[in-house]
Amino acid sequence: MFIFIKIYIKTYGCNINNFESENLFNNIKYYKILQTKIFFLSNLIFLNSCIIRKNSQIKILKELKKWFFIKTKKKLIIILTGCMVDFENFNKLKKLKIDIIINDISIFYLNKFLFFFFKYKKKIFLIKKKKYFNLKYNNKFILIMKGCNHNCTYCVIPQSKGREIYFSYKYIINSLIKKIKFKLQDITLLGQNVNSYNFGIINFNDLIYNISKIKNYNRINFFSSNLFDFNNDFYYIYKNIKKISSHIHLPIQSGSNYILRQMNRKYKVVKYLKFIKNIKKIKFTTFSTDIILGFPNEKFYDFDFSLKIIKKINFIDIYYFLYSKRKNTISYCFKENEIKIKKFKFFIFNNNIKSNLLIFINKILKAYVIGYINNNIFIGKLDNLKLVFFEYYSYKIIGNFIFVKIIKIFKNIFLGIYK
Ligand code: SF4
């Protein structure tokens, strides 16, 4: 039996994929594992794919070709998981020189698949469907749900990941309790549509409320949320639960109501603005967002609305992309903007983005101390996920929440004074 695995992990896509790849080892037993960052030194390649953007899909196929070539020269096992498995033509994938093809839910059974693969020397192709699942791993990221019940016209998630499934409430709470044992205090709840969590009678607000009851646990982040799944109770939760991070990532996608309708986003800009206003009334909160540029039928005045919205809301981070059409999406058959026009819009948008981080100067912010550079410069992670550097005299501060006054900002890095 082959028991020594030199594994090379390549991950594309979002935090959820990173989370799955990071936790891969928790699911592999019986084999001696060594992770390598150099792919040609490995004897097992694990590819966690994402095809939300066409570019990633192209890159993945290129990457696979490279590995197939190496496979002709040496013994190499290739495992493919992620969106590509659900979204690409499965029969086509099976014909490639990939040894194990499993979808993301099946990753948790990877140990078994490896066992069968080594024992019977047969390829494994499996897509496992499951409604709810319980896991035993620990990480500061906690996946609470997967999939999406919405149908944004440009998005492949509903097709690739399927409808929403939720981790059991019991599993989430139990894994948090374990994490607290390891003094991990900063956690992020993850999900494609995290705030639509709905496990039986427990919704997202209830979940946060119950998580906040756990002692010695300080900050809760969540990613990625959508406006249409917040209800009014969230304001109450946000106001009363101090542990919720004061940074929210809230994709708007466009500043034009017409384009939002074309995207089937089910809200108007005014509702988005109202939500932000209400949240900011509760406490100092920062926002980041996603914007798609050059969506089909986007006229210059629609684009201008997007420019206006970024000026109106001081987003501290904007993730903006040129629209690219994806197969099996509703917008696939929409008439696209000319590529020249899309690129021009991207150029203009890019030049209109200015750093809004200056709003933090002289603010006193909460940071979780994650380490140090030398014996008196320490590093903290702020609610807005940026790093802050500050002076202190004792290592005991590491792993604690502190307050720092921000005095300078260089690019994305903050300098602060311990308060
Ligand atoms: S809510 Fe998000 S994940 Fe769901 S369809 Fe829309 S863009 Fe895709």
| Confidence band of 354 (pLDDT split at 50, 70, 90) | low
Of 357 and 414, more confident: 414
Contact at 8 Å (CB) between 27 and 137? yes
In CATH terms, 4-126 corresponds, of 2.60.40.10, 3.40.50.2300, 1.20.1070.10, 3.40.930.10, to 3.40.50.2300
Most ligand 1 atoms within 8 A of CB, residue of 226, 263, 329 to mutate:
226
Alpha-carbon distances, residue 320 vs 151, 309, 331 (angstroms): 20, 13, 18
Q: Is residue 139 pLDDT above 70, yes or no? A: no
Q: Give the mean model confidence (pLDDT) for residues 120-139.
A: 53
- Ligand 1 atom at minimal distance to the Cα of residue 226: 1
pLDDT computed for residue 130 by the predictor? 43
Most ligand 1 atoms within 8 A of CB, residue of 86, 152, 227 to mutate:
152
pLDDT tens-digit readout, 4-43: 788 888 888 766 677 677 767 666 666 777 888 888 888 8
Question: Within 6 Å (CB) of ligand 1, which residues are found?
Answer: 148, 150-152, 155, 157-158, 192-193, 226
Q: Is residue 131 pLDDT above 50, yes or no? A: no
Q: Which two tokens stand for residue 109?
A: 């059974």
pLDDT tens-digit readout, 215-268: 766 788 898 899 999 999 999 999 999 889 889 999 999 999 999 999 999 999
How far apart (Å, rounded) are the C-alpha atoms in residues 261 and 294?
15
Fold for the domain defined by 359-418? OB fold (Dihydrolipoamide Acetyltransferase, E2P) (2.40.50)
| Confidence band of 125 (pLDDT split at 50, 70, 90) | confident
Say yes or no: domain 131-245 is CATH 3.30.420.250. no
Ligand 1 centre distance from Cα of residue 69 (Å): 36
Of 9-18, 153-162, 284-293, 398-407, which range is least confident?
Answer: 9-18
In the chain, where are the structural domains located? 4-126, 131-245, 359-418
| Confidence band of 183 (pLDDT split at 50, 70, 90) | low
